């Protein structure tokens, strides 16, 4: 344990006073994190949704080690290097219609870069200068794109960001399409509401620079799986309006929902800009990428005096160790047939979620290896996250809740036995947490635990 008076670490998105001390991780062992003292925790959230192969996969360790011996960091300012060149080629090859890769450090920075690219595209006089007035960004309610100011402005989740509300730039917000991706009539109605507002908002406003949205699902904003056909129709509306389409695949691409480029699986017009992060280095080092098509990249050329080049960069942009890890990671995706494994694991996970005993009133939403179980848990007092974590830990599973949602987001290469352990541990911890939050010693709020009783689900 670490903390309580001696630690100087300020933990992210955490009320540390509620915790006092934090378990200290000293090493990883495959799908497990190992605490000082030896307790093993199955990594049920892929160390914040980024781990692919489990911890310390030898090929990734070797790639980082070899690169560290050659040069741990050299910049992309005035220079280039092999790992960044190879990775850009791999990413552009993987993402249909993309032409260039811009590197940054995290999902938030990838999205900051994406929004700046979209705004500067028009400011540079693209398309004959007709779009100089295109400065507004449109987005979806319930979307989440990171914690920096631009990302908060286009991914405003009130629960996370209300304290900053007055300092964000104004964005046009369309209703969330919501849903569990089950194609129900209710879901189609929500999708129609969103698409109707989008059609009106985009067609009627020639000052919109871009529509920014997550691809495939809204992840951190509530694990909302898009209804079938929604993204394709949204992309079409965007294309017809002339605004750029910016997709965020930080959480949902690179195999999380079962495809490398989720937009290719969704169909419809391709994005102009798309962002990746999280799983890019297999969960080893921070790195993200913002990819742009020829239409966008073409507006950034010319002479220096034109001042059309992208006004954005970070010290560690394209860090060679991270890029080497990412190249090796993507190589392994191919040689290990990872996407096929994810699709098989997704079916297994769907069955396990269905058969598990969740607290009464729980709603399960799932696609690929992204799952959220929304509890009918009361707010206020101790956080669900705090109680769930401790209950998960007692059962040997590292869990984290987002608001009232228990997240199950394992490493992509997880096997069946560990998936079973994850769902058993998470459902047991959820029942215990729901009981504790409702003030009851056993059972759960809303009629007690039920097997196979969640309201909606997605296999």
Give me the phi and psi of 327, to 5 degrees please: -60, -45
Between 120 and 252, name the residue whose CB sits nearer to ligand PLP: 252
Q: Which residue has the tokens 């929004």?
A: 115
Between 140 and 434, name the residue whose CB sits nearer to ligand PLP: 140
Among 108, 231, 293, 404, binds ligand PLP (CB under 6 A): 108
Shortest CB 95 distance to ligand PLP, Å: 16
Between 373 and 444, name the residue whose CB sits nearer to ligand PLP: 373
Task: Tell me if 423 sits within 8 A of 405, measured CB to CB.
Answer: no
Which residues are 290's β-sheet partners?
102, 275
Q: Which residue has the tokens 């569990």?
A: 180
For ligand PLP, the nearest residue by Cβ is 107
Positive or negative, the CA dihedral 229, 412, 287, 91 is: negative
Shortest CB 150 distance to ligand PLP, Å: 11
CA 116 – CA 267 distance, rounded (Å): 26
User: How is residue 30 annotated by DSSP?
Assistant: B
Shortest CB 425 distance to ligand PLP, Å: 22
Contact range with ligand PLP by CB under 6 A, out of 74-82, 247-255, 264-272, 370-378 = 247-255
User: Rule CB under 6 A: is residue 52 a binding residue for ligand PLP?
Assistant: no
CA 169 – CA 81 distance, rounded (Å): 36
CA 179 – CA 141 distance, rounded (Å): 13
Region 255-284 residues binding ligand PLP, contact defined as CB under 6 A: 277
Between 50 and 413, name the residue whose CB sits nearer to ligand PLP: 50
User: Rule CB under 6 A: is residue 216 a binding residue for ligand PLP?
Assistant: no
Region 359-398 residues binding ligand PLP, contact defined as CB under 6 A: none
Q: What is the DSSP string of 256-277?
A: TTSSSSHHHHH-SSPPSEEEE-
User: Rule CB under 6 A: is residue 106 a binding residue for ligand PLP?
Assistant: yes
CA 81 – CA 88 distance, rounded (Å): 11
Strand, coil or helix: 218: strand
Among 92, 152, 238, 250, binds ligand PLP (CB under 6 A): 250
Between 219 and 284, name the residue whose CB sits nearer to ligand PLP: 219
Task: Tell me if 363 sits within 8 A of 180, measured CB to CB.
Answer: yes
DSSP run (H or E) holding 419? helix 416-438
Among 81, 145, 297, 421, binds ligand PLP (CB under 6 A): 145
Task: Tell me if 418 sits within 8 A of 31, measured CB to CB.
Answer: yes
User: Rule CB under 6 A: is residue 230 a binding residue for ligand PLP?
Assistant: no
Between 107 and 350, name the residue whose CB sits nearer to ligand PLP: 107
User: Rule CB under 6 A: is residue 293 a binding residue for ligand PLP?
Assistant: no
Between 220 and 284, name the residue whose CB sits nearer to ligand PLP: 220
User: Rule CB under 6 A: is residue 322 a binding residue for ligand PLP?
Assistant: no
Q: Which residues bind ligand PLP (CB under 6 A)?
A: 106-108, 111, 144-146, 214, 219-220, 248, 250-251, 277
């Amino acid at each position: 344990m670490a903390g309580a008076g001696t630690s100087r670490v300020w933990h992210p998105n955490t009320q540390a006073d509620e915790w006092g001390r934090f378990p200290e991780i000293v090493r990883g062992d495959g799908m497990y994190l190992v605490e000082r003292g030896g307790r093993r925790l199955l990594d049920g959230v892929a160390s914040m949704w980024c781990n692919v192969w489990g911890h310390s996969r030898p090929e990734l360790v070797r790639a980082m080690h070899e690169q560290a011996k050659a040069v741990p960091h050299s910049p992309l300012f005035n220079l280039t290097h092999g790992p960044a060149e190879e990775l850009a080629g791999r990413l552009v090859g993987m993402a249909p219609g993309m032409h260039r890769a811009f590197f940054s450090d995290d999902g938030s920075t990838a999205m900051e870069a994406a929004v700046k690219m979209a705004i500067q595209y028009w400011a540079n006089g693209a398309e004959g200068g007709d779009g100089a007035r295109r400065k507004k960004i449109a987005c979806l309610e319930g979307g989440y794109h990171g914690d920096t100011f631009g990302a908060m402005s286009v991914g405003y989740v009130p629960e996370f960001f209300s304290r900053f509300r007055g300092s964000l730039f104004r964005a046009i917000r369309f209703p969330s399409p919501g849903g569990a991706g089950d194609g129900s009539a209710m879901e189609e109605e929500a999708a129609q509401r969103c698409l109707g507002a989008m059609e009106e908002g985009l067609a009627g406003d020639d000052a919109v620079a871009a529509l920014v949205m997550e691809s495939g699902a809204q992840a951190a904003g509530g694990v909302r799986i898009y209804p079938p056909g929604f993204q394709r129709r949204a992309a079409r509306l965007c294309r017809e309006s002339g605004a750029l389409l910016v997709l965020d695949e930080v959480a949902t691409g690179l195999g999380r929902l079962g495809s490398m480029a989720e937009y290719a699986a969704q169909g419809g017009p391709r994005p102009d800009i798309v962002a990746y992060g999280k799983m890019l280095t297999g969960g080893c080092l921070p790195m993200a990428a913002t990819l742009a098509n020829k239409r966008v990249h073409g507006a950034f050329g010319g002479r220096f005096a034109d001042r059309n080049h992208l006004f954005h960069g970070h010290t560690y942009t394209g860090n060679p160790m991270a890029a080497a890890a990412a190249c090796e990671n993507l190589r392994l995706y191919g040689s290990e047939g990872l996407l096929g494994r994810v699709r098989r694991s997704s079916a297994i996970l769907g069955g396990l979620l269905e058969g598990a005993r969740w607290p009464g009133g729980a709603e399960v939403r799932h696609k690929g290896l992204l799952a959220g179980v929304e509890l009918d848990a009361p707010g206020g007092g101790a956080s669900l996250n705090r109680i769930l974590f401790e209950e998960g830990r007692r059962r040997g599973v590292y869990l984290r809740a987002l608001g009232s949602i228990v997240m199950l987001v394992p490493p992509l290469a997880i096997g069946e036995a560990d998936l079973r352990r994850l769902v058993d541990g998470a459902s047991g911890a959820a029942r215990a947490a729901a009981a504790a939050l409702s003030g009851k010693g056993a059972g759960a709020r809303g009629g007690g635990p039920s097997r196979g009783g969640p309201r909606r689900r997605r296999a």
